[in-house]
Amino acid sequence: MIGSNGVHVRSGRASVVRSATFLACAFSMACGAPAAGQQPDLAKRIEQCVACHGADGNSRLERVPSLAGQPEFFILNQLFLMREGVRKIEPMADVVKDLKDEDLQALAGHFAKLPPKASEEKVDPDLVKKGAALAQRLRCASCHLPTLAGQEQMPRLAKQRIDYMVLAMQAYRDNTRSGADTAMTAVIVGANDDELTALAHYAASR
């Protein structure tokens, strides 16, 4: 099982890189080599992000998601949606508004490569068990992969913050996440808060 998942993840990553490049090129005609002098600029941008998302991409702030180990394409896609004002995140509005396509791609590449770490939140074993059963019934793995490491536009759930995942799932269910992918809403439309909490404990524990 682990072996076959490993293969899955690796082949997934290869195609992520390809589609990320494709997407960035589709955004604008400027998809050549990065401009000289981009590196110091990138470091400055990363510094802004990690004030909230954690120095190593693993968030220690309540309700702020970790970015470490997210599929590159997921991060790129979300940043694009944010810059275009489709996914509205008030505290991030200023930092994303002036980013160029190559900045989005460089930031996505940076955070995707960092190793994900579980947060300091307490994982409840009873909720993990309940969440595992629900996850099987609702087929979370069919999109987020059996390891819940995510793929393409589907985010990593494993080791993500519990408080953030509960918030995110409530927002999908209640139709309050701007720019949300309706595939996700359809999955949890009938779930109550206790069930969402159990799912988050299970996902974080993977």
Point out which residues bind ligand HEC (CB under 6 A). 45, 48-49, 51-53, 64-65, 67, 75, 78-79, 89, 91-92, 95, 107, 135, 138-140, 142-144, 153-155, 157, 160, 165, 167-169, 180-181, 183-184, 187-188, 199, 203
Minimum CB separation of residue 91 from ligand HEC in Å reads: 4
- Give ∠ CA 82-187-155 in degrees, rounded to 5: 40
Q: How far apart are CA 151 and CA 145, in angstroms?
A: 7
Radius of gyration of the chain (CA): 17
Minimum CB separation of residue 1 from ligand HEC in Å reads: 19
For ligand HEC, the closer CB: 25 or 134: 134
57-62 LR contacts (CB < 8 Å, sep 24+): 57/111, 57/114, 57/116, 58/114, 58/116, 58/117, 58/119, 58/159, 59/119, 59/161, 59/164, 60/119, 60/120, 62/161, 62/163
Minimum CB separation of residue 131 from ligand HEC in Å reads: 8
Query: Scanning the structure block, which residue is given the tokens 């909720």?
Result: 127
Which amino acid is residue 25, in one-letter code?
A: C
Minimum CB separation of residue 62 from ligand HEC in Å reads: 9
Q: 131 is written with which tokens?
A: 């969440």
Q: How far apart are CA 80 and CA 24, in angstroms?
A: 9
For ligand HEC, the closer CB: 29 or 65: 65
Minimum CB separation of residue 11 from ligand HEC in Å reads: 19
For ligand HEC, the closer CB: 18 or 97: 97
Minimum CB separation of residue 151 from ligand HEC in Å reads: 10
